[in-house]
Every structure is written in structure tokens, then in C-alpha cells.
Amino acid sequence: MNRRIAVLASGGGRSLENLAEKIASGELEAQLALVVVNSPSAGAIERARRLGLECVLVDHRQFSSPQEFSAAIFREVEARDVALVVLAGFLRLLLVPERWESRVINIHPALLPKFGGKGYYGERVHAAVIAAGESVSGCTVHYVTNEYDSGPPLVQRRTQVKPGDDAHSLAARVFEEEKLALPEAIALHFASRAALQR
């Protein structure tokens, strides 16, 4: 069964490194086939190089529409026989072609459907959670549709919002849950695909 993954990242690539570690240790049965970044300043480029992974820049500023940008990404993905696309800190709208429905997942640093949608990313999410007086936060891995953060959830993990938390301290605890949730969701996805093929 094809378990080749493309990871899309806009930032430092910490989730990419976490996935690489889980695969190397045998905890996750998958193969990192490609890393796609949308900015030449993304830290994920250096992480991919250090991990010996192929990394491609598809700069969103070079395209006139989200449709053209998304099509360019899927051309790169399909050229490498990828089975699953993983958005890990990818901060652009990705329009998913029909042939890729239920084969693109995203990790979001909150318990969707709360604190999701356009503009809710990174520490903005955690600041909003604290401002709303929530006692629990966490992360959600979900299938990607053509609306921000609206697809069916695969995995949610929770953590407490502690008195005195700021966006930075809450983000650090949520990320510890993300490190567990994303590999778990990938394994669930492939397990469900394998079951369908039996």
C-alpha cells in the first residue's frame, strides 16, 4: 500500500521533524516523499535539507489566484506518487481537487469548530482561547475542504488552559499534543484506506 506523504509547511517545520522522528523510530508506518513550502524564508527548508528530504518552493506570490497556486502544488505532489497530503503549519488556502478529497489533512491548534477559520492561526488562536476564558484547549486534525478548518475531524487532543497562561505558554503545551495527534491521524487515515482495500 502506498504510504507516501507530502508535508506542506509555511514556518519552521517542527511538525515535519516530529513526523520524521516517528517514522524513523517505527512508530508511524509512512514515507516522507516531499516537503512543499510557500515561502523562501520558511524554516522548514533547512529542516528538510537536514533530514535529507526533497523540498520544493511553490511561492504563493507568483500566482494570480488560489486556484493556480493550489494546482501548482498538486502538480508537484502527483509527480511524486504521493498518497496523503499533510498541512503542518501551512498558512495559505489550499483548494483541494475532487480527486484529492479525503486525502488531505490539516492540523489546527484548537478544538474545532471553536477558534477556526480565516485569520485563526499560530499564536492568534491561543490568544483568542485565553481571551474567551476557556479552561480547555488542544488541537484538531481534520480532512481539508475548500473552506478553512471546516472538514471532518480525525483526531482531537486536549490540554488544560492554566491560570497565568499567555499565548506562548499555551502554544507550547498544545504543540506537545500536536506531536501525538498528527501521527495518530495519519495512522488512522492509512488504516481506514487499508480496510477499504480488503
Per-residue pLDDT, 88: 96
Phi–psi pair at 72, nearest 5 degrees: -65, -40
Q: What is the pLDDT along the chain (198 residues), one digit of tens a residue?
A: 999 999 999 999 999 999 999 999 999 999 999 999 999 999 999 999 999 999 999 999 999 999 999 999 999 999 999 999 999 999 999 999 999 999 999 999 999 999 999 889 889 999 999 999 999 999 999 999 998 899 999 999 999 999 999 999 999 999 999 999 999 999 999 999 887 776
Total number of domains constituting the chain: 1
d(CA 138, CA 54): 31
Per-residue pLDDT, 148: 87
d(CA 171, CA 177): 10
The residue range of the domain holding 38 is 4-197
Per annotation, catalytic residue among 60, 108, 168, 189: 108
CATH of the domain at 106: 3.40.50.170
Q: Is 142 marked active-site?
A: no
